[in-house]
Amino acid sequence: MSLITTGNSMQRLALLSLLLLLSACQNQSGNTRSNSEGFYVYTDAQGNLVTMRRAETKAAPKNGGREAYQQSAAVTSKVDPTSEAFSQSDVDDYRPSEEVDEELAARENERFITYVDEMGQLVSRPLDMKAERKAAQDAPAPYEEVAEDAFLETYRALRADCCMHLIETAKPLEPGAESVVTFDRESLVLKGDSPWRAVAFAPADEVSEVSLVSFIRKKGYLGAELLWLNSKGVPVMMIDQPFSRKYPETWYRYGYLQGTLEREQGQHYLIVFLPYLDARPASDGLKQVIEGELVLSAP
């Protein structure tokens, strides 16, 4: 009887050892699978159980730490959206790399313009070509049209030989050139009852139009008129209002009146004269003076 009992005990011990061995092999197999798949579990600061995949171990890149940094930055944790650690701001603050690259490229291609403003300050700002074109189209003209009804047509009786003596002193006017017309006490005058100050010019045959500029200084300007002569020095046309535009004064220049006149056939000499002897009031609160300078040019 004792042998049978001993034999049964031995069988039970052998069976128990076999079961323990199988259990150990199973645990080892499970651990190996878990390790091979690269998962690990931990409890975060809020007490949540978090499962994460291990980053695969790769050889260090040959070009240094840039790729290593990008690879490490690409590993993101899987946070439970229901946990307090997850917030909507994490999603809102995210910007795709393509968007960032486009913004950097746009900044590199930005154009800037530097200029001096009306206060004399140096200003630099980004240049938007589309907006600049539209603003240029919508901007008002930098001048005022001289109202036709602000000046009255006048009739002047001139002698036929009023300018004969001026032809000898006529200054040449070539295409693209300009000349300063000075009026002072030494200026020559027209013959006749009214000794008006005058200067003569002889435009070249290629000149088809002339431009006259009178600067406004202290609300005073030279209210000149023009007189065209034929080849014999006889007046053929008088222009009592040669100005058509008025430009306002700015910080870097005076205001001025400007006009462009076409030259017709048979007009050889041009006389610029002041049709008054003393300073007198003019339109727009200005004053016509008797001394100063004009600019005559052939565009």
Between residues 24 and 261, the one the model is more confident about: 261
Contact between 210 and 260 (Cβ < 8 Å):
yes
pLDDT per residue as tens digits for the range 161-184? 999 999 999 999 999 999 999 999
> CA 166 from chain center: how many Å?
51
Q: Mean of the pLDDT values across residues 238-248?
A: 91
pLDDT the model gives residue 125: 78
- Indicate the pairing of strand 287-288 with strand 197-203: unpaired
Q: Which of 19-33, 58-72, 123-137, 201-215 is predicted most confidently?
A: 201-215
For 50, counting Cβ atoms within 10 Å of its Cβ (0-12 exposed, 13-18 middle, 19+ buried), the class is: middle
- Closest by Cα among 186, 205, 207 to 197: 186
Domains of the chain: 2-94 (no CATH), 95-139 (no CATH), 148-297 (2.60.120)
- pTM to 2 decimal places: 0.55
pLDDT the model gives residue 13: 62
Contact between 260 and 244 (Cβ < 8 Å):
yes
pLDDT per residue as tens digits for the range 26-46? 444 444 444 445 676 777 766
Helix (H) or strand (E) holding 203: strand 197-203
> What is residue 140's three-state secondary structure?
coil
Q: Mean of the pLDDT values across residues 209-215?
A: 96
Cα diameter, the chain: 171
80 Cβ partners below 8 Å, 6+ apart?
48, 50, 86
